[in-house]
Structure 1
């Protein structure tokens, strides 16, 4: 690959543009799943209410719930695929900035470990993305630490709130009920969960859509900044 007009890296650089494009596409798919979930949640809640009130048969309710579950599966699959590509993308960038002699706190391997730790430790991916943003500053002097003075990207903080903090709060509120329903095949338990937490589910889906949009913007801006540093063609 050709890299020019940039300081000479100590190691071969990894390409990130293609991974970034794929990550943004898959994030969009996950976001679309969130939109569909938000739209279909009121209908699922109505079905749950009708079933609990005896106005809808168990089979009809489970049919409605299965259709609702498919939209959640679309969102989940998109999220998982996005996570895998994000790990590779971030791993490569973290390695590239170190190849330029920039002394970072988070080793590239944290691009994998940070995402599989418990949700309460979402602070680590945030810190790593923030650090890679700063270390990718093409205008920073090419030494070990000057990049640390580079300004933050406010979008990364917004992403941390809508992807990390808000979902963690929602999960904490609904954890006990969703845990029980998640492993239950009993229609009445599923219906009660939808009845109790349907609004929260809709809010969660809406937050996930916002998080997807913000993450697409973060990936786009960070990749452009990083490519300017490495002069990837």
Structure 2
């Protein structure tokens, strides 16, 4: 049985796809679900930003050396509700996007031929969870998926649009800011430290909004390209 995480060697000539990617998988449902979660991500970030601004406004009424208990007590209900919403939306988004990337990678291998691809569907998702390698490997996999879905016959020659590197830059910045915000929040003991943590959180949410919108653009374009390639294959099969 073929290991789904085993990368295939790249060859110069076109080779028939391996049996594991020998047919097209309909991405419509996953695409729609991914769109929904990306839109939810924007709404959650707007809510988190509004809460961070409210906390900053309250903190300005206290001395920089005061404790944070009074501020958090005043906002405990919206903070809990937002936290639960962020957790549920975050888990759902990770699962849905992982499934969508896997589906796109599967279809890309079907179009271009498995031996012409460097990344299997499993590794197109798996690299996101490998420390250090997740700084560039997922982006390389996405570029390969894009090229194979755009023009599989000459996938190694065509460029990728600017919003692909923009997406990856926003992804890295958002993750860095989120980690910084989380660390500052857990370490905050007084108002001044709490304000710094809230400012970092506000900045992270501000970057996450364009990240969701740019990735939504990629989802729409890539899905349309794969349907176009499948339509061409169906026409060729009938002719």
On whether the aligned pair clears a TM of 0.5, the verdict is yes
Shift of 1:171: 4.6
Look up the match of 2:128.
115
What TM-score do you get using the length of structure 1 for normalisation? Answer: 0.77
Residue 76 of structure 2 corresponds to residue 68 of structure 1 = no
How far does the alpha carbon of each residue in 1:135-193 deviate from its partner, in whole angstroms, 9 at most, with x for none?
A: 111x442xxxx2111220211111111111x2244256556423435xxxxxxx37554
Matches within 5 A, 1:186-205: 189=189, 193-205=193-205
Task: Please state whether the residue corresponding to 1:12 is helix, strand or coil.
Answer: coil
Look up the match of 1:213.
213
CA contact (8 A) 1:104 1:131 kept: yes
Q: How well do the aligned residues superpose, as a CA RMSD in angstroms?
A: 3.1
Look up the match of 2:165.
157
Gaps of 5+ in 2: 1-15, 235-239
Gaps of 5+ in 1: 1-7, 182-188
Alpha-carbon separation, structure 1, partners of 2:90 and 2:37:
7
Alpha-carbon separation, structure 2, partners of 1:43 and 1:152:
41
Shift of 1:230: 2.0
Task: Please state whether the residue corresponding to 1:212 is helix, strand or coil.
Answer: helix
Alpha-carbon separation, structure 1, partners of 2:185 and 2:71:
22
What TM-score do you get using the length of structure 2 for normalisation? Answer: 0.75
CA contact (8 A) 1:38 1:206 kept: yes
Look up the match of 1:180.
187
CA contact (8 A) 1:41 1:201 kept: yes
Look up the match of 1:5.
none
Task: Find runs of 4+ consecutive structure 1 residues off by over 3 angstroms.
Answer: 48-61, 171-176, 178-181, 190-193
The partner residue of 2:147 within 134, 157, 160 is: 134
